[in-house]
């Protein structure tokens, strides 16, 4: 373990600035300060990665634990750690040693440990990789393939595109880059905000990491060393958004139980060459205030089985076994639902296939001084697949995709494919990562179909990206201080489109509905928290989503009693309709029996009858997730600006709730002229200790769209005694 002493300084918001004499000592110090500030959070994340969170958080966490162990996250993390080069492995170990050294004292300070009876455990060297995998297992949204398969079966393949959207289970981001000729400083500006589920404590940690070799400010993921997504070294800065690439596949598997010649039991899976051995284990899950639960987990040659039904004995098989491979994406004779005997779905993902996550990129990014360095570091990246932007002080610019996307048939991207189909197998090759120039002096990334289009199947609507580009083009040059104008834009083009398309003229409406119609006519389409027009629009939109979801023509898409709990956000008919209204209201998008104008009219009459909130912020409030539910004394959630398709994105589920669980998990501006003119913000604060003065001190600023300065002068910071 590094023995050299480190120093920790804090700015007025409690953000840690860490100095150490070398990179290994700095990694150790980062682990220590993270444990001190976020001990409860990172222990929860470690247990979630291990599939052990229900043991102290309760039965509602069991569905995640089962998925984590079925997906074999911990085993994949071990493999990826063991494949690291020794320098990177030593760097990760130093971070883990820092966590282990500080965690016992951190647990004494964090009340959640006592509340749940959890004792801090010892982190294994591969634990940060497991935390990373846990954060991003669902990031690419492979459960959306189950939804697309359901739509195709019920309404036909052509209907799938009508439901395409950046759905409620997908993470997104905004990001933009201004070339030197488009700024007031003559140097590039990089800004944006990642959209993720808002958690308490936050999913990003503001931090500065400095040693004689480098000095980096950025947003780290608690429990993971370095600064992966958003950083500024003083010489080069980088940022990412979700590329919306499709790099995880689901394979329909057929399983059976057999007896080996020695009499022991085994499980086999039907593959391209017939029956193949599968690995089977029995996992025991401890559940707080409940009995232990045993679950069988299986891995086939394609990957871990994440969804399965009963596995029949070979002697009891009654269903026909496919005798020849079908076309990629064909169903053959296999069962397609886990309730069917022997049916299962296996997940194939690059990290497990390659035995790599790309962690070698993390220390390389800290050492970067040019966009060429960032580019080279990104070449090692595996998953998740991101769009990367970078700029340096010499005027260099970078706009590319980074990650590993397998070469395989297009059917694999659309939905589950057959394990026995040779055409559905991965070829062994990997797609080339697209690149682009920064045209017109600016580049924008907002999860829309664009640079990464060849790699994905479903993207966000283009509204956010187009709006950001419009705003950036509204003035010839921008300063760092101007950037919140973009961050906080609440204009909803989606609202304008829907209203123009669906809300009928006044004739024939009841007097109250006609009054609402006039309110909407005069509304500026901005989803401001204080806006009455936004409240009326949201109430009408929600009523319309509910009415469409209840239409008999869509009954086959309704949730089923045996839908896996962990995948419900992707299989929610109401959620899918709420976020896809703009597509679904195009004439001909839904079955002819669905009278969309009639539903629209009835929805407006419903709002007229039941009333709408006085303002959008009355119901559109922040609903941050936390591992332990808030107690009754917790303050009322604050109102938030914006909506799903606004640049100031704050997502609810229309028709279900106006509460926003997903929003900007951070905002930042990286100035390449003077790093000290950069700025950042997180939704809550730097500390994960609920009674710490820095647990929520950034929230009022975040709500208003303000940023706090990045302080780089050590003399303006307060030094504390090192851990």
Q: What is the pLDDT of residues 314-326, one digit of tens each?
A: 876 544 444 444 4
The mean per-residue pLDDT over the stretch 691-696 comes to 96
Residue 250 CA to residue 699 CA, distance in Å, equals: 40
| 305 prior amide bond cis, ω within 30 | no
Q: What is the average pLDDT value for the chain, to the nearest integer?
A: 93
Q: Looking at 28-32, 165-169, 561-565, which range is the least confident one? A: 165-169
The reported pLDDT for the residue numbered 503 is 72
Residues 646 and 523 grouped into a single domain: yes
Residue 248 CA to residue 138 CA, distance in Å, equals: 10
Q: Is 605 helix (H, G, I), strand (E, B) or coil?
A: helix
Residue 297 CA to residue 71 CA, distance in Å, equals: 9
Lookup: tokens for 590: 């839904």
Q: Is 228 helix (H, G, I), strand (E, B) or coil?
A: coil
The reported pLDDT for the residue numbered 622 is 96
Residue 255 CA, distance from chain mean position: 32
pLDDT band at 166 (very low <50, low <70, confident <90, very high): low
User: Which range in 312-316, 630-634, 686-690 is most confidently predicted, on average pLDDT?
Assistant: 686-690
Structure letter (DSSP) for residue 503: P
**Residue 161 forms part of a structural domain:** no
Residues 35 and 99 grouped into a single domain: yes
Residues 697 and 623 grouped into a single domain: no
The reported pLDDT for the residue numbered 341 is 60
Domain boundary residue, one of 661, 678, 702 = 661
Residues 625 and 604 grouped into a single domain: yes
pLDDT band at 501 (very low <50, low <70, confident <90, very high): confident
**Residue 361 forms part of a structural domain:** no
Domain boundary residue, one of 315, 348, 381 = 348
As for how many domains the chain has, the answer is: 3
**Residue 704 forms part of a structural domain:** yes
Residues 637 and 697 grouped into a single domain: no
**Residue 378 forms part of a structural domain:** no
Domain boundary residue, one of 641, 661, 681 = 661
Residues 657 and 687 grouped into a single domain: no
pLDDT band at 502 (very low <50, low <70, confident <90, very high): confident
Residues 697 and 594 grouped into a single domain: no
The reported pLDDT for the residue numbered 535 is 98
- Residue 193 vs residues 136, 216, 348, 378: alpha-carbon distances, Å: 18, 19, 30, 20
The reported pLDDT for the residue numbered 167 is 57
Is pLDDT at 504 greater than 90 in this prediction? no
Q: What is the pLDDT of residues 652-683, one digit of tens each?
A: 999 999 999 999 999 999 999 999 999 999 99
Q: Looking at 324-338, 398-412, 440-454, which range is the least confident one? A: 324-338
Lookup: tokens for 98: 């820092």
The reported pLDDT for the residue numbered 507 is 78
Residues 695 and 637 grouped into a single domain: no
Q: What is the pLDDT of residues 517-535, one digit of tens each?
A: 999 999 999 999 999 999 9
Phi, psi of 291 (to 5 degrees): -80, 155
Q: What is the pLDDT of residues 585-602, one digit of tens each?
A: 999 999 999 999 999 999
Structure letter (DSSP) for residue 388: E
**Residue 209 forms part of a structural domain:** no
- CATH number of residue 304's parent domain: 2.30.120.10
- CATH number of residue 638's parent domain: 1.10.1400.10
The reported pLDDT for the residue numbered 496 is 93
**Residue 96 forms part of a structural domain:** yes
The mean per-residue pLDDT over the stretch 180-197 comes to 97
The reported pLDDT for the residue numbered 170 is 55
Query: What per-residue string of b and e applies to 236-265 under the rule 16 or more CB within 10 Å gives b?
Result: bbbbbbbbbbbbbbbbbbbbbbeeeeeeee
pLDDT band at 632 (very low <50, low <70, confident <90, very high): low
Q: What's the residue count for the chain?
A: 723
Question: What's the pTM value of the predicted model, to 2 decimals?
Answer: 0.95
Q: Looking at 128-137, 317-326, 342-351, 565-574, which range is the least confident one? A: 317-326
DSSP 397-412: EEEEEES--B---HHH
**Residue 465 forms part of a structural domain:** no
Is pLDDT at 713 greater than 60 in this prediction? yes
Residue 2 CA, distance from chain mean position: 34
Residues 625 and 680 grouped into a single domain: no
Residues 574 and 671 grouped into a single domain: no
Is pLDDT at 329 greater than 50 in this prediction? no
Antiparallel, parallel or unpaired: β 718-720 and 7-10: antiparallel
**Residue 436 forms part of a structural domain:** no
The mean per-residue pLDDT over the stretch 158-178 comes to 81
Q: Looking at 409-423, 502-516, 579-593, which range is the least confident one? A: 502-516
pLDDT band at 342 (very low <50, low <70, confident <90, very high): low
Residues 570 and 698 grouped into a single domain: no
- Nearest Cα to Cα of residue 436 among 391, 483, 400: 400
DSSP 687-711: ---TTSTTSSTTHHHHHHT--EE--
- CATH number of residue 57's parent domain: 1.10.439.10
Helix spans in 11-84 (H): 23-50, 54-57, 62-70, 73-82
Beta strands in 286-377 (DSSP E): 293-299, 305-308, 343-348
pLDDT band at 339 (very low <50, low <70, confident <90, very high): very low
Residues 650 and 715 grouped into a single domain: no
Q: Residue 570's domain spans which residues?
A: 490-661
């Amino acid at each position: 373990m590094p023995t050299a002493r480190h120093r920790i300084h804090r700015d007025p918001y409690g953000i840690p600035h860490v100095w150490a004499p070398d990179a290994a000592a700095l990694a150790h110090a980062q682990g220590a300060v993270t444990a001190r500030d976020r001990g409860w959070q990172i222990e929860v994340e470690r247990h979630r990665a291990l599939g052990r969170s229900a043991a102290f958080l309760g039965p509602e966490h069991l569905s995640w634990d089962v998925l984590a162990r079925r997906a074999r996250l911990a085993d994949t993390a071990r493999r990826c750690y063991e494949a690291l080069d020794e320098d990177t492995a030593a760097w990760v170990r130093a971070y883990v040693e820092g966590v282990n050294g500080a965690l016992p004292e951190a647990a004494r300070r964090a009340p959640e440990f006592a509340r749940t009876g959890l004792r801090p455990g010892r982190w294994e060297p591969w634990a940060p990789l497991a935390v990373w995998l846990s954060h991003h297992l669902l990031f690419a949204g492979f459960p959306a393939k189950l939804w697309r398969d359901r739509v195709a079966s019920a309404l036909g393949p052509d209907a799938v595109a009508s439901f395409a959207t950046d759905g409620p289970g997908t993470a997104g981001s905004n990001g933009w880059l201004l070339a030197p000729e488009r700024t007031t400083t003559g140097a590039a500006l990089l800004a944006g905000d990642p959209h993720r589920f808002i958690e308490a404590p936050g999913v990003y940690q503001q931090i500065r990491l400095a040693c004689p070799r480098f000095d980096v400010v950025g947003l780290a993921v608690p429990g993971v060393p370095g600064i992966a997504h958003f950083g500024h070294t003083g010489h080069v800065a980088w940022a990412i958004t979700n590329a919306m690439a499709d790099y995880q596949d689901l394979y329909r598997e057929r399983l059976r139980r057999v007896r080996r010649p020695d009499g022991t039991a085994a499980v086999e899976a039907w593959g391209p060459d017939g029956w193949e051995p599968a690995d089977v284990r029995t996992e025991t899950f401890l559940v707080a205030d409940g009995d232990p639960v045993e679950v069988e987990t299986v891995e086939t040659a394609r990957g871990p089985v994440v969804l399965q039904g009963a596995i029949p004995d070979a002697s009891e098989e009654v269903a026909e076994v496919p005798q020849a491979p079908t076309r990629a994406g064909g169903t053959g004779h296999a069962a397609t639902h886990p309730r069917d005997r022997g049916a299962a779905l296996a997940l194939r993902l690059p990290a497990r296939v390659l035995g790599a996550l790309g962690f070698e990129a993390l220390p390389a990014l800290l050492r970067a001084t040019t966009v060429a360095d960032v580019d080279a570091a990104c070449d090692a990246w595996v998953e998740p697949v991101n769009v990367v932007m970078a700029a340096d002080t010499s005027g260099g610019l970078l706009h590319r995709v980074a990650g590993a996307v397998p070469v395989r048939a297009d059917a694999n991207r659309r939905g589950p494919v057959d394990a026995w189909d040779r055409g559905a197998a991965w070829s062994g090759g990997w797609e080339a990562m697209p690149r682009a120039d920064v045209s017109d002096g600016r580049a924008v990334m907002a999860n829309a179909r664009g640079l990464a289009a060849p790699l994905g199947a479903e993207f966000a609507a283009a509204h956010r990206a187009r709006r950001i580009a419009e705003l950036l083009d509204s003035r010839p040059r921008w300063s760092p201080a101007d950037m919140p104008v973009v961050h906080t834009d609440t204009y909803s083009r989606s609202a304008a489109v829907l209203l123009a398309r669906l809300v009928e003229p006044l004739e024939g409406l009841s007097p109250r509905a006609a009054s609402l119609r006039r309110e909407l006519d005069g509304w500026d389409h901005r989803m401001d928290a204080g806006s009455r027009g936004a409240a009326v629009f949201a109430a009408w939109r929600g009523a319309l989503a509910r009415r469409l979801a209840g239409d008999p023509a869509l009954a086959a898409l309704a949730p089923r009693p045996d839908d896996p709990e962990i995948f419900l956000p992707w299989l929610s008919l109401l959620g899918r309709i709420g976020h896809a209204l703009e597509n679904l209201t195009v004439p001909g998008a839904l079955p002819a029996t669905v009278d969309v104008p009639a539903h629209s009219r009835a929805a407006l009459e419903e709002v007229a009858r039941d009333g709408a909130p006085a303002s959008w912020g009355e119901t559109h409030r922040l609903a941050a997730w936390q591992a332990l539910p808030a107690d009754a004394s917790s303050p009322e959630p604050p109102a938030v600006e914006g909506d799903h398709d606004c640049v100031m994105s704050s997502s609810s589920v229309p028709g279900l709730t106006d509460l926003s669980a997903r929003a900007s998990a951070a905002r930042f501006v990286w100035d390449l002229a003077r790093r000290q003119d950069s700025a950042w913000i997180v939704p809550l604060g730097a500390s994960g200790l609920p009674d710490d003065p820095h647990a929520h001190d950034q929230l009022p600023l975040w709500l208003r769209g303000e940023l706090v300065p990045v302080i780089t002068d050590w003399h303006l910071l307060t030094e504390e005694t090192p851990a």
